[in-house]
């Protein structure tokens, strides 16, 4: 794939969060993708582009104690890449991230089964994990038609910008080709008419009062509205 120079201001801008359990290869995958795209990271939000899209890649922390940071990052995303280590499989933090992605309204998910080299590029292992994660996402309310799974070995660039030779049994798109068909989120007017989604990023206590600080992703609030908090309902 030819990477376009950063001169086309009219390209659609798609924000993509990379999430998943700690040590499942997120840094390696992001690093390889950015290197191949010729983008140099300056923060946890990195911009890169192809011939048809501009991307903002958001690196969501995988540690449980940083779950608030993960939510803050994912709240800005149009789509997600959910990483699953081919050897370790579906972990609790992966499931938690998937649940939060659903609450945040993200519907396009690319399941990247990483570190395929550690399982000998085994197709059966990929098929099993892809099925497990897809079934879990569907159980959370995701549309199976908007879930894509791809086997990758980021260290060697397998299935990142192009399909590699190590997994000839995989005939689907490379990761960047999946990303290149994603579209930005809803316009501001559409978001205002959608159901309320308010991300609580902090709670401040003053005497008996509680002040919730956060960001409205969609919908609107007015004095007297009755609201429901998730996941506790």
Mean pLDDT of the chain: 83
Quick one: pLDDT at residue 141? 92
Quick one: pLDDT at residue 61? 62
- Would the pLDDT of 195 be above 50? yes
Quick one: pLDDT at residue 126? 97
- Would the pLDDT of 117 be above 90? yes
The winner for highest mean pLDDT among 40-49, 64-73, 160-169, 184-193 is 160-169
Among 108, 99, 50, smallest CA distance to 77 is for 108
- Would the pLDDT of 102 be above 60? yes
Q: Which residue has the higher pLDDT, 148 or 52?
A: 148
Segment 171-195 shows an average pLDDT of 80
Quick one: pLDDT at residue 6? 47
For the entire predicted model, the pTM comes to 0.76
- Would the pLDDT of 133 be above 70? yes
Q: What does DSSP assign to residue 154? A: G
21 CB burial (10 A radius; 0-12, 13-18, 19+): buried
pLDDT in tens, 63-86: 555 567 777 777 778 899 999 999
Question: What share of the chain in percent tops pLDDT 90?
Answer: 34
The answer to whether the CB of 163 falls within 8 A of the CB of 170 is yes
Segment 135-150 shows an average pLDDT of 95
- Would the pLDDT of 114 be above 80? yes
Tokens read off for 53: 């899209």
Other Cβ atoms within 10 Å of 122 Cβ, number: 15
The winner for highest mean pLDDT among 88-97, 128-137, 184-193, 219-228 is 128-137
Number of helical H runs and strand E runs in the chain: 6, 8
Among 54, 60, 63, smallest CA distance to 10 is for 54
The C-alpha torsion from 153 through 173 and 108 to 184, rounded to 10°, is: 110
């Amino acid at each position: 794939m030819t990477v376009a120079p950063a001169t086309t201001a009219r390209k659609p801008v798609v924000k993509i969060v990379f999430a998943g359990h700690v040590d499942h290869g997120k840094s390696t995958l992001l690093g390889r993708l950015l290197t191949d795209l010729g983008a140099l990271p300056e923060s946890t939000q990195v911009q890169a582009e192809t011939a048809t899209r501009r991307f903002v890649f958001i690196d969501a922390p995988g540690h449980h104690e940083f779950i608030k940071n993960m939510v803050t990052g994912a709240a800005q995303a149009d789509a997600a890449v959910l990483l699953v280590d081919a050897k370790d499989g579906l972990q609790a933090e992966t499931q938690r991230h998937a649940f939060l992605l659903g609450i945040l309204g993200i519907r396009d998910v690319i399941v990247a089964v990483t570190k395929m080299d550690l399982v000998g590029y085994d197709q059966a292992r990929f098929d099993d994990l892809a099925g497990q994660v897809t079934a879990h996402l569907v159980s959370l309310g995701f549309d199976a038609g908007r879930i894509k799974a791809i086997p990758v070995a980021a260290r060697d660039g397998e299935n990142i910008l192009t399909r590699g030779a190590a997994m000839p049994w995989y005939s689907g798109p490379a990761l960047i080709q999946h990303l290149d068909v994603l579209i930005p989120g809803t316009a501001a007017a559409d978001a205002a008419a959608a159901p309320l989604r308010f991300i609580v990023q902090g709670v401040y206590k003053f005497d008996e009062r509680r002040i919730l600080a956060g960001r409205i992703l969609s919908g609107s609030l007015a004095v007297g509205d009755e609201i429901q908090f998730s996941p506790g309902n």
